[in-house]
Amino acid sequence: MKRSILHSRLKWLLFLVSFSFIMPSCHRTTDLSSPDGRTVIRFSLSPDGAPLYSVTRDGKPYILSSELGLKLEGADLSRDFRIENVTRASADTTWETAWGEERFIRDLHNELCVSLTGASGERMVIRFRAFNDGIAFRYELPGDGGELRIMDEMTEYNFASDPVGWSIPWNTPYYEGLWTASPLSEKRDTLCSPMTLEFADGSYGMLHEANLTDYAGQNFYVSRLEEKSLTSRSEAVSLHTYLTPWSNGVRVYGSYGSTVSPWRMVLIADNITDLAASRMMLNLNEPCRIEDTSWIKPMKFIGIWWAIHLDHYTWCYRLLDNEGKVKGLSPNHGATTANMQRYIDFAAEHHIGGVLAEGWNEGWDGDWTSNLASFTTPTPDFDMDYLSRYAAEKGVQIIGHHETGGNITHYESEMEQAFEYYDRHGIHNVKTGYVHSKLEGKEWHKSQYGVRHMRKVIECAAAHHVCIDNHECVMPTGLQRTYPNLMTGEGVRGQEWDAWSTDGGSPAEHLCILPFTRCMAGPVDFTPGTFDFSNPIHPQTRVHSTLARQLALFVTIYSPLQMASDMPESYMQHQAAFRFIEDVPCDWERSVVIDAKIGDYVVTARQDRQDTDSWYIGAITDENERELTLPLTFLDADTEYTATIYADADSTDWKTNPYAVDIHEQKVTANDCLTLRLKPCGGTAIKIKKIRG
């Protein structure tokens, strides 16, 4: 059905020019321009046949001559090459997303494909694409199906200047860290992809990868260029690629003819608004492979979850003694039939689509990080048959849960039946989890081993009409274009840290950094919506936020499965403010970052996909009070709207009086400019709806 809508609604404009020619042997350089002509990639071969590229922006150096290539076991694919042939292509298409921040995405790029042959006949293809918002390239290894092992990737990014990089170390457990900023030249750690770059002239960039399907996740490390004696430019910095290894040191197992690297991408943006608007990563992924996507539904959910993190409930049904023997039943097991029914009732009454049940299945007793759970057997106090009927009657989806503890072999042996079991019970969304520092006790989550497993899960889930919210995930790279049942993921220091971390909770600036770092890689299950800031377990730790800011997060952080994380009883304490959470959708027609300074504040506006007469705005600040102006130029001209504004009140103070929210309505038009007054750790959430006459 989606297909026919797509064909009828879209005018496809596909302009593909492709020609190939043999390069004269003296001709070792070729250029590729972005469609707007501002960015130019130059490919060249060094005198010893090493593939190199450089990038200029508006005629100025952006990336200086940088190495390309792969080291295979038994073959060095980084030198002694000659150019076999070069082909070019261009594309200008528009495609419709199954869900997302944008309904329609334009893919406008030029392509250059360079086929190389080595001294002993080795072949490698490097395919470049130049977009108006950045560049990308990938390696392809043509051939006859013979096996290969990639031991290293030589890709470099020799930046002509020394931008500030916003990064986390590559081995941050589950990527759940605080992002820090420093000039690239001062970075000592190996760094995780993505990394956001802030240049002295106010422009931005980002390094990441797209379409990571059967390869190792990339990371970066830094060296000064003069150390390599490549240049005398003291400000230039060189980033090198570090592929996440298997435990035996191999980076990638592959075969000639099918191994293709993910796209290496460099976003290039004049300002932060343009950075956030880039859809290049999605454009570099393959079109949707799910014929009928009508079962894939963005929605908000609540869950038997936060109360577990606050120790009100347990995941476990049984309690074990030190020797692992059952010593009794938990007096406060969370996922019970009665609790679920209560949550389902609340969801049905308050326009919330789903209810998550964690700790619903047998096998959580004791140390659940070495989970050998059954994914098809509920605990005796969780009546799945009854609950699935009850939820269906109420129009609410149960969100399933698979905590694997990183035991991949066990999970893969149960996975097929587990998704089939959920499908049979009308459950079409599952939160998966991999809490263990290594998969199978030895492999990094973002090694090729982990990447392959996550891909299997998405495909198996799709076959059973199940969508995935992947915790302890591989850093996303846009695969949701191809498999829109991969809806969201963690890979972030989420709000759960404010329940149990011992460091006081995440600083308010964290949420002003995430939209331009982790969120650029894909949807985030951050779990906003805390309405009770007291913390009985770690009184020194708390959510650094006012209540109005919790509402704004539903707009500033994008997720098509968006959790309102607090308990129904907390929401009932502040019903007027909760109205915003009831109203706000999580599927958008358009999204615009209106104004932002990474780490300081962000103002985002999004248009509801189902009701394009409505816009939602979220504005948040860091620990500093701030006054921001919001021009409403994104609204239709000559049209009246009602704005419902949820703002920090004069008396709001995130430590002593966080719950005070000033809620008021006013009429607005596109000519208006609102003044937003944000308290420290504060925010403003606004719903703007067209007045129909």
Residues that bind ligand NOJ (CB under 6 A): 305, 358, 403, 433, 435, 471, 490, 496
How far is 567 from 304, CA to CA, in rounded Å? 8
Beta carbon of residue 303, minimum distance to ligand NOJ (angstroms, whole number): 9
132, 38 contact by CB (below 8 A): yes
∠ CA 93-97-99, rounded to 5°: 165
300 vs 677 by CB, closer to ligand NOJ: 300
Task: Mark whether 496 is an active-site residue.
Answer: yes
**202 — alpha (psi -120 to 50), left (phi > 0) or beta?**
left
Whether residue 194 is preceded by a cis peptide bond, meaning omega within 30 degrees of 0, is yes
153 vs 403 by CB, closer to ligand NOJ: 403
Q: What are phi and psi of 652, to 5 degrees?
A: -70, 135
Going by C-alpha positions, the residue among 62, 442, 441, 71 that lies closest to residue 242 is 71
Q: Which residues contact 338 (CB under 8 A, 6 or more apart)?
A: none
How far is 685 from 646, CA to CA, in rounded Å? 5
102, 593 contact by CB (below 8 A): no
Beta carbon of residue 307, minimum distance to ligand NOJ (angstroms, whole number): 11
Beta carbon of residue 420, minimum distance to ligand NOJ (angstroms, whole number): 22
List 153, 496, 509, 589, catalytic entry: 496
175 vs 305 by CB, closer to ligand NOJ: 305
How far is 673 from 659, CA to CA, in rounded Å? 26
526, 494 contact by CB (below 8 A): yes
67 vs 403 by CB, closer to ligand NOJ: 403
- Concatenated DSSP letters of 342-406: HHHHHHHHTT--EEEESS-BTT-SS-GGG----SS-B-TT--HHHHHHHHHHHT-EEEEEEE-TT
Beta carbon of residue 471, minimum distance to ligand NOJ (angstroms, whole number): 4
Distances (CA, A) of 475 to 258, 495, 523, 633, 659: 23, 18, 11, 35, 34
* Residue 304 tokens, joined: 């038997």
222 vs 352 by CB, closer to ligand NOJ: 352
320 vs 435 by CB, closer to ligand NOJ: 435
- Concatenated DSSP letters of 296-344: ---EEEEEETHHHHTTSSBS-SEEE-TTS-EEEE-TTBSS-HHHHHHHH
Beta carbon of residue 368, minimum distance to ligand NOJ (angstroms, whole number): 7
Beta carbon of residue 267, minimum distance to ligand NOJ (angstroms, whole number): 28
Beta carbon of residue 523, minimum distance to ligand NOJ (angstroms, whole number): 15
Handedness of CA 359, 365, 367, 370 (dihedral sign): negative
∠ CA 323-324-326, rounded to 5°: 115
Exposure of 303 in the CB half-sphere (CA atoms within 13 A): 31
176 vs 595 by CB, closer to ligand NOJ: 176
Going by C-alpha positions, the residue among 291, 335, 286 that lies closest to residue 312 is 335
33, 130 contact by CB (below 8 A): yes
* Residue 111 tokens, joined: 């392509």
573, 658 contact by CB (below 8 A): no
How far is 513 from 344, CA to CA, in rounded Å? 34
56 vs 339 by CB, closer to ligand NOJ: 339
500 vs 634 by CB, closer to ligand NOJ: 500
At position 162, the amino acid (one-letter code) is D
- Concatenated DSSP letters of 45-86: E-TT--EEEEEEETTEEEEEEEE--EEETTEEETSSEEEEEE
Beta carbon of residue 401, minimum distance to ligand NOJ (angstroms, whole number): 7
**Angle, helix 408-424 to helix 448-463, in steps of 10 degrees:** 20
490 vs 595 by CB, closer to ligand NOJ: 490
How far is 127 from 586, CA to CA, in rounded Å? 35
Going by C-alpha positions, the residue among 153, 403, 101, 428 that lies closest to residue 278 is 101
Beta carbon of residue 402, minimum distance to ligand NOJ (angstroms, whole number): 9
Beta carbon of residue 377, minimum distance to ligand NOJ (angstroms, whole number): 17
254 vs 505 by CB, closer to ligand NOJ: 505
Beta carbon of residue 389, minimum distance to ligand NOJ (angstroms, whole number): 26
626 in helix, strand or coil? Answer: strand
Going by C-alpha positions, the residue among 262, 264, 243 that lies closest to residue 190 is 243
306 vs 616 by CB, closer to ligand NOJ: 306
* Residue 142 tokens, joined: 């043509």
Beta carbon of residue 36, minimum distance to ligand NOJ (angstroms, whole number): 41
Catalytic residues: 496
